[in-house]
A = this chain, B = another copy of it.
Amino acid sequence: MSTFDPTDRPRGRLGIKEIARRAGVAPMTVSRTLSDPAKVSPETRARVMAVIEQAGFIRNELASSMRSGRRIVGTMVPPLINSGIAEQVQGMTDACQASGYQLLLVQGDFTPEAEEEAIRALLGWQPAGLILQAFVQSPAARRRLAAGPAPVVEISEVRGREPIDMAVGVSNFETAHAMTSHLLAKGYRRIGFVSTPVHGNDRLRQRRIGYRQALRDAGHHYPVPLEIEVPITPAGGAEAVRRLSAMDAALDVIFCSSDTLAIGAVQECHRRGWPIPERLAIAGYGDVDLAAQLFPTLTTLRVDRYAMGRRAVEQLLRRLRGEADVPAVETLGFEIVERQSA
Protein backbone atom coordinates (compact mmCIF):
# COMPACT_ATOMS: atom_id res chain seq x y z
CA MET A 1 0.00 0.00 0.00
CA SER A 2 2.64 2.52 0.94
CA THR A 3 4.66 3.95 -1.87
CA PHE A 4 8.36 3.73 -1.44
CA ASP A 5 10.69 6.44 -2.44
CA PRO A 6 14.25 5.12 -2.55
CA THR A 7 15.46 8.24 -0.79
CA ASP A 8 13.50 7.54 2.34
CA ARG A 9 14.03 3.93 3.09
CA PRO A 10 12.91 3.99 6.68
CA ARG A 11 15.34 2.39 9.05
CA GLY A 12 13.07 1.33 11.82
CA ARG A 13 9.92 3.26 12.66
CA LEU A 14 9.37 6.73 11.38
CA GLY A 15 10.08 8.64 14.55
CA ILE A 16 11.86 11.73 15.64
CA LYS A 17 15.04 9.69 15.61
CA GLU A 18 14.70 8.64 12.00
CA ILE A 19 13.96 12.22 10.97
CA ALA A 20 17.04 13.31 12.86
CA ARG A 21 19.14 10.77 11.05
CA ARG A 22 17.89 11.88 7.67
CA ALA A 23 18.38 15.55 8.44
CA GLY A 24 21.75 14.94 9.98
CA VAL A 25 20.90 16.40 13.37
CA ALA A 26 20.22 15.14 16.86
CA PRO A 27 16.71 13.96 17.81
CA MET A 28 16.48 16.82 20.26
CA THR A 29 16.79 19.31 17.45
CA VAL A 30 13.85 17.76 15.69
CA SER A 31 11.86 17.92 18.87
CA ARG A 32 12.69 21.58 19.28
CA THR A 33 11.84 22.33 15.68
CA LEU A 34 8.38 21.05 16.41
CA SER A 35 7.68 22.50 19.81
CA ASP A 36 9.86 25.59 20.03
CA PRO A 37 11.07 26.58 16.56
CA ALA A 38 12.51 29.86 17.79
CA LYS A 39 15.28 27.97 19.50
CA VAL A 40 16.53 26.45 16.26
CA SER A 41 18.52 28.30 13.64
CA PRO A 42 16.53 29.13 10.52
CA GLU A 43 18.68 26.95 8.28
CA THR A 44 18.47 23.91 10.50
CA ARG A 45 14.79 24.46 10.99
CA ALA A 46 14.18 24.61 7.27
CA ARG A 47 16.16 21.47 6.65
CA VAL A 48 14.38 19.55 9.39
CA MET A 49 10.97 20.76 8.29
CA ALA A 50 11.71 19.71 4.75
CA VAL A 51 12.55 16.20 5.87
CA ILE A 52 9.43 16.08 8.05
CA GLU A 53 7.21 17.18 5.20
CA GLN A 54 8.87 14.85 2.80
CA ALA A 55 8.55 11.87 5.06
CA GLY A 56 5.04 12.72 6.21
CA PHE A 57 6.18 12.47 9.79
CA ILE A 58 3.65 13.10 12.53
CA ARG A 59 4.83 13.36 16.08
CA ASN A 60 3.59 10.76 18.52
CA GLU A 61 1.48 12.84 20.86
CA LEU A 62 1.19 10.01 23.31
CA ALA A 63 4.91 9.99 23.94
CA SER A 64 5.11 13.74 23.81
CA SER A 65 2.39 14.15 26.40
CA MET A 66 4.13 11.78 28.74
CA ARG A 67 7.19 13.92 29.03
CA SER A 68 5.76 17.40 28.62
CA GLY A 69 2.47 19.20 28.73
CA ARG A 70 -0.83 17.45 28.51
CA ARG A 71 -2.84 18.29 25.46
CA ILE A 72 -6.15 16.58 25.97
CA VAL A 73 -9.31 18.11 27.30
CA GLY A 74 -11.77 15.51 28.50
CA THR A 75 -15.44 16.18 28.46
CA MET A 76 -18.59 14.43 29.57
CA VAL A 77 -21.94 15.56 28.24
CA PRO A 78 -25.55 14.42 28.13
CA PRO A 79 -26.97 13.09 24.85
CA LEU A 80 -26.05 15.39 22.01
CA ILE A 81 -29.50 15.37 20.51
CA ASN A 82 -30.66 17.38 23.50
CA SER A 83 -31.15 20.88 22.31
CA GLY A 84 -28.18 23.02 23.11
CA ILE A 85 -25.62 20.39 23.92
CA ALA A 86 -24.44 20.12 20.34
CA GLU A 87 -23.84 23.84 20.18
CA GLN A 88 -21.97 23.68 23.41
CA VAL A 89 -19.72 20.90 22.19
CA GLN A 90 -19.13 22.89 19.07
CA GLY A 91 -17.97 25.81 21.21
CA MET A 92 -15.60 23.46 23.01
CA THR A 93 -14.10 21.91 19.92
CA ASP A 94 -13.60 25.27 18.29
CA ALA A 95 -11.83 26.63 21.34
CA CYS A 96 -9.74 23.49 21.71
CA GLN A 97 -8.67 23.35 18.11
CA ALA A 98 -7.68 26.99 18.23
CA SER A 99 -5.23 26.30 21.01
CA GLY A 100 -3.85 22.94 20.04
CA TYR A 101 -5.83 20.80 22.43
CA GLN A 102 -7.81 17.75 21.52
CA LEU A 103 -11.22 16.93 22.84
CA LEU A 104 -11.86 13.50 24.27
CA LEU A 105 -15.59 13.01 24.36
CA VAL A 106 -17.72 10.85 26.58
CA GLN A 107 -21.39 11.19 26.10
CA GLY A 108 -24.57 9.61 27.29
CA ASP A 109 -27.33 9.41 29.78
CA PHE A 110 -25.30 8.35 32.75
CA THR A 111 -26.33 6.65 35.89
CA PRO A 112 -24.19 7.69 38.84
CA GLU A 113 -22.13 4.52 38.45
CA ALA A 114 -21.68 4.90 34.73
CA GLU A 115 -20.79 8.51 35.31
CA GLU A 116 -18.08 7.55 37.74
CA GLU A 117 -16.76 5.04 35.26
CA ALA A 118 -16.77 7.59 32.47
CA ILE A 119 -14.81 10.10 34.52
CA ARG A 120 -12.36 7.42 35.46
CA ALA A 121 -11.84 6.61 31.81
CA LEU A 122 -11.25 10.24 30.96
CA LEU A 123 -8.77 10.70 33.77
CA GLY A 124 -6.74 7.78 32.53
CA TRP A 125 -5.77 9.82 29.50
CA GLN A 126 -4.09 12.39 31.70
CA PRO A 127 -6.19 15.30 30.51
CA ALA A 128 -4.95 18.83 30.94
CA GLY A 129 -8.42 19.61 32.18
CA LEU A 130 -11.99 18.39 32.28
CA ILE A 131 -15.26 19.95 31.29
CA LEU A 132 -18.28 18.27 32.72
CA GLN A 133 -21.77 19.07 31.74
CA ALA A 134 -23.77 16.44 33.45
CA PHE A 135 -24.00 17.14 37.14
CA VAL A 136 -21.45 15.00 38.85
CA GLN A 137 -23.47 13.11 41.37
CA SER A 138 -21.11 10.58 42.79
CA PRO A 139 -19.35 12.01 45.85
CA ALA A 140 -16.46 9.65 45.19
CA ALA A 141 -16.00 11.08 41.71
CA ARG A 142 -16.23 14.61 43.05
CA ARG A 143 -13.57 13.88 45.60
CA ARG A 144 -11.32 12.28 43.07
CA LEU A 145 -11.66 15.21 40.73
CA ALA A 146 -11.02 17.72 43.48
CA ALA A 147 -7.92 15.86 44.54
CA GLY A 148 -6.54 15.44 41.04
CA PRO A 149 -4.18 17.82 39.29
CA ALA A 150 -6.53 18.60 36.41
CA PRO A 151 -8.64 21.73 36.61
CA VAL A 152 -12.33 21.04 36.23
CA VAL A 153 -15.00 23.26 34.78
CA GLU A 154 -18.59 22.34 35.35
CA ILE A 155 -21.04 23.74 32.85
CA SER A 156 -24.03 23.84 35.02
CA GLU A 157 -26.16 25.59 37.47
CA VAL A 158 -24.18 28.39 39.08
CA ARG A 159 -26.51 28.93 41.98
CA GLY A 160 -26.23 27.39 45.36
CA ARG A 161 -24.01 24.48 44.61
CA GLU A 162 -20.30 24.52 45.31
CA PRO A 163 -18.39 23.73 42.14
CA ILE A 164 -15.76 21.04 42.29
CA ASP A 165 -13.34 23.59 40.98
CA MET A 166 -14.78 26.12 38.55
CA ALA A 167 -18.14 26.60 36.93
CA VAL A 168 -19.57 28.33 33.89
CA GLY A 169 -23.26 28.75 33.38
CA VAL A 170 -26.37 30.63 34.12
CA SER A 171 -28.56 30.70 37.15
CA ASN A 172 -31.35 28.50 35.99
CA PHE A 173 -33.36 29.71 38.93
CA GLU A 174 -33.01 33.26 37.76
CA THR A 175 -33.77 32.53 34.12
CA ALA A 176 -36.90 30.57 34.89
CA HIS A 177 -37.98 33.12 37.44
CA ALA A 178 -37.54 35.87 34.88
CA MET A 179 -39.52 34.08 32.21
CA THR A 180 -42.34 33.23 34.58
CA SER A 181 -42.49 36.79 35.83
CA HIS A 182 -42.48 38.00 32.25
CA LEU A 183 -45.46 35.82 31.46
CA LEU A 184 -47.28 37.04 34.53
CA ALA A 185 -46.55 40.64 33.54
CA LYS A 186 -48.08 39.96 30.16
CA GLY A 187 -51.27 38.99 31.87
CA TYR A 188 -51.14 35.22 31.84
CA ARG A 189 -52.55 33.72 34.98
CA ARG A 190 -52.52 29.95 34.66
CA ILE A 191 -48.98 29.03 33.80
CA GLY A 192 -48.15 25.39 33.27
CA PHE A 193 -44.58 24.16 33.53
CA VAL A 194 -43.23 21.18 31.66
CA SER A 195 -39.78 19.75 31.82
CA THR A 196 -37.99 16.55 31.15
CA PRO A 197 -37.38 14.50 34.29
CA VAL A 198 -35.59 16.63 36.84
CA HIS A 199 -34.23 13.72 38.79
CA GLY A 200 -30.48 14.07 38.90
CA ASN A 201 -30.56 17.25 36.86
CA ASP A 202 -29.74 20.27 38.91
CA ARG A 203 -30.39 22.71 36.08
CA LEU A 204 -33.92 21.52 35.53
CA ARG A 205 -34.59 21.45 39.21
CA GLN A 206 -33.50 25.05 39.54
CA ARG A 207 -35.72 26.06 36.66
CA ARG A 208 -38.70 24.52 38.33
CA ILE A 209 -37.88 26.19 41.61
CA GLY A 210 -37.53 29.51 39.80
CA TYR A 211 -40.91 29.02 38.22
CA ARG A 212 -42.52 28.22 41.56
CA GLN A 213 -40.88 31.13 43.31
CA ALA A 214 -42.03 33.59 40.66
CA LEU A 215 -45.59 32.39 41.11
CA ARG A 216 -45.30 32.76 44.86
CA ASP A 217 -43.73 36.19 44.54
CA ALA A 218 -46.76 37.28 42.56
CA GLY A 219 -49.13 35.83 45.09
CA HIS A 220 -50.35 32.99 42.95
CA HIS A 221 -51.31 29.64 44.24
CA TYR A 222 -52.72 26.83 42.16
CA PRO A 223 -54.92 24.24 43.84
CA VAL A 224 -53.22 21.58 41.72
CA PRO A 225 -49.60 22.21 40.73
CA LEU A 226 -49.44 22.66 36.98
CA GLU A 227 -46.15 20.84 36.63
CA ILE A 228 -45.43 17.74 34.61
CA GLU A 229 -42.48 15.79 33.32
CA VAL A 230 -42.25 14.33 29.81
CA PRO A 231 -39.59 12.77 27.61
CA ILE A 232 -37.20 15.16 25.91
CA THR A 233 -38.75 15.00 22.45
CA PRO A 234 -41.19 17.08 20.45
CA ALA A 235 -43.74 14.39 21.23
CA GLY A 236 -43.16 15.24 24.88
CA GLY A 237 -44.21 18.80 24.13
CA ALA A 238 -47.38 17.59 22.48
CA GLU A 239 -48.08 15.41 25.47
CA ALA A 240 -47.69 18.44 27.71
CA VAL A 241 -50.45 20.28 25.88
CA ARG A 242 -52.74 17.32 26.29
CA ARG A 243 -52.05 16.66 29.92
CA LEU A 244 -51.79 20.21 31.22
CA SER A 245 -54.89 21.44 29.45
CA ALA A 246 -56.75 18.48 30.90
CA MET A 247 -55.53 19.44 34.38
CA ASP A 248 -56.81 22.99 34.20
CA ALA A 249 -59.36 24.32 31.74
CA ALA A 250 -58.19 27.86 32.40
CA LEU A 251 -54.61 27.15 31.45
CA ASP A 252 -53.44 30.04 29.30
CA VAL A 253 -49.74 29.44 28.78
CA ILE A 254 -47.18 26.67 29.01
CA PHE A 255 -43.62 27.41 29.92
CA CYS A 256 -41.47 24.65 28.43
CA SER A 257 -38.06 23.95 29.91
CA SER A 258 -36.62 23.49 26.44
CA ASP A 259 -37.36 24.68 22.94
CA THR A 260 -37.67 21.12 21.75
CA LEU A 261 -40.69 20.70 23.97
CA ALA A 262 -42.07 24.11 23.04
CA ILE A 263 -41.87 23.33 19.35
CA GLY A 264 -43.70 20.08 19.88
CA ALA A 265 -46.34 21.91 21.91
CA VAL A 266 -46.87 24.42 19.14
CA GLN A 267 -47.48 21.63 16.64
CA GLU A 268 -50.06 20.07 18.93
CA CYS A 269 -51.90 23.39 19.16
CA HIS A 270 -51.98 23.61 15.37
CA ARG A 271 -53.37 20.12 15.25
CA ARG A 272 -56.17 21.14 17.61
CA GLY A 273 -56.77 24.32 15.72
CA TRP A 274 -55.94 26.37 18.80
CA PRO A 275 -54.69 29.79 17.88
CA ILE A 276 -51.40 30.72 19.52
CA PRO A 277 -51.18 32.66 21.74
CA GLU A 278 -54.90 33.43 21.99
CA ARG A 279 -56.17 30.03 22.99
CA LEU A 280 -52.92 28.84 24.50
CA ALA A 281 -49.58 30.58 24.61
CA ILE A 282 -46.24 28.74 24.51
CA ALA A 283 -42.86 29.81 25.83
CA GLY A 284 -39.60 27.95 25.35
CA TYR A 285 -36.09 27.90 26.67
CA GLY A 286 -32.87 27.96 24.69
CA ASP A 287 -33.58 29.91 21.51
CA VAL A 288 -32.58 27.30 18.98
CA ASP A 289 -32.34 28.26 15.30
CA LEU A 290 -35.84 27.15 14.58
CA ALA A 291 -37.40 29.33 17.27
CA ALA A 292 -37.18 32.48 15.16
CA GLN A 293 -38.56 30.71 12.08
CA LEU A 294 -41.38 28.83 13.71
CA PHE A 295 -44.98 29.71 12.96
CA PRO A 296 -45.80 31.50 15.09
CA THR A 297 -42.33 32.64 16.10
CA LEU A 298 -41.39 31.31 19.49
CA THR A 299 -41.07 33.39 22.62
CA THR A 300 -38.15 31.91 24.44
CA LEU A 301 -35.22 32.51 26.68
CA ARG A 302 -31.89 32.82 25.00
CA VAL A 303 -28.80 31.30 26.53
CA ASP A 304 -25.69 31.26 24.43
CA ARG A 305 -24.67 27.62 24.60
CA TYR A 306 -21.91 27.96 22.08
CA ALA A 307 -20.35 30.68 24.20
CA MET A 308 -20.70 28.49 27.27
CA GLY A 309 -18.64 25.80 25.61
CA ARG A 310 -16.01 28.27 24.53
CA ARG A 311 -15.84 29.96 27.90
CA ALA A 312 -15.43 26.66 29.66
CA VAL A 313 -12.36 25.86 27.59
CA GLU A 314 -11.00 29.35 27.96
CA GLN A 315 -11.36 29.24 31.70
CA LEU A 316 -9.51 25.96 31.71
CA LEU A 317 -6.72 27.41 29.61
CA ARG A 318 -6.35 30.46 31.79
CA ARG A 319 -5.93 28.24 34.78
CA LEU A 320 -3.44 26.10 32.91
CA ARG A 321 -1.44 29.15 31.95
CA GLY A 322 -1.21 29.88 35.62
CA GLU A 323 -3.16 33.11 35.49
CA ALA A 324 -4.02 34.53 38.84
CA ASP A 325 -7.59 35.45 39.79
CA VAL A 326 -9.39 33.11 37.43
CA PRO A 327 -12.93 33.39 38.76
CA ALA A 328 -14.30 30.19 40.20
CA VAL A 329 -17.77 30.84 38.90
CA GLU A 330 -18.53 32.59 35.68
CA THR A 331 -22.16 33.54 35.26
CA LEU A 332 -23.32 34.17 31.74
CA GLY A 333 -26.21 36.42 30.89
CA PHE A 334 -29.52 35.53 29.32
CA GLU A 335 -32.24 37.33 27.49
CA ILE A 336 -35.94 36.89 27.14
CA VAL A 337 -36.74 36.89 23.46
CA GLU A 338 -40.29 38.00 23.07
CA ARG A 339 -41.83 36.81 19.87
CA GLN A 340 -45.36 35.84 18.85
CA SER A 341 -46.09 32.65 20.74
CA ALA A 342 -46.45 34.23 24.20
Write the residues of chain A forming the contact surface with B, with a CB cutoff of 8 angstroms: 1-3, 56, 58-63, 65-66, 72, 79-81, 85-87, 89-90, 93-94, 97, 102-108, 118, 120-126, 143-144, 146-147, 233-235, 237-238, 260, 263-264, 267-268, 270-271, 289-290, 292-295
Contacts and interface: CB of A to CB of B under 8 A. Distances in A.
**Count of identical protomers in the assembly:** 2
28 contacts: A1-B147, A3-B143, A58-B120, A58-B123, A60-B126, A61-B124, A62-B65, A62-B125, A63-B66, A72-B104, A85-B86, A90-B107, A90-B108, A93-B106, A93-B108, A94-B108, A97-B106, A97-B118, A104-B104, A104-B105, A233-B293, A234-B290, A235-B293, A237-B293, A267-B290, A268-B293, A270-B295, A271-B295
Contacts of A72: 104
Given A80-B86, A89-B80, A61 B267 contact: no
- The A contact surface, by secondary structure, is helix
Nearest to A147: B2
A105 B105 contact: yes
B121 A102 contact: yes
Nearest to A165: B1
A61 to B, nearest CB: 4
A60 B67 CA distance: 13
Contacts of A81: 86-87, 90, 289
Contacts of A58: 120, 123-124
A260 B263 CA distance: 13
Contacts of A90: 79-81, 107-108
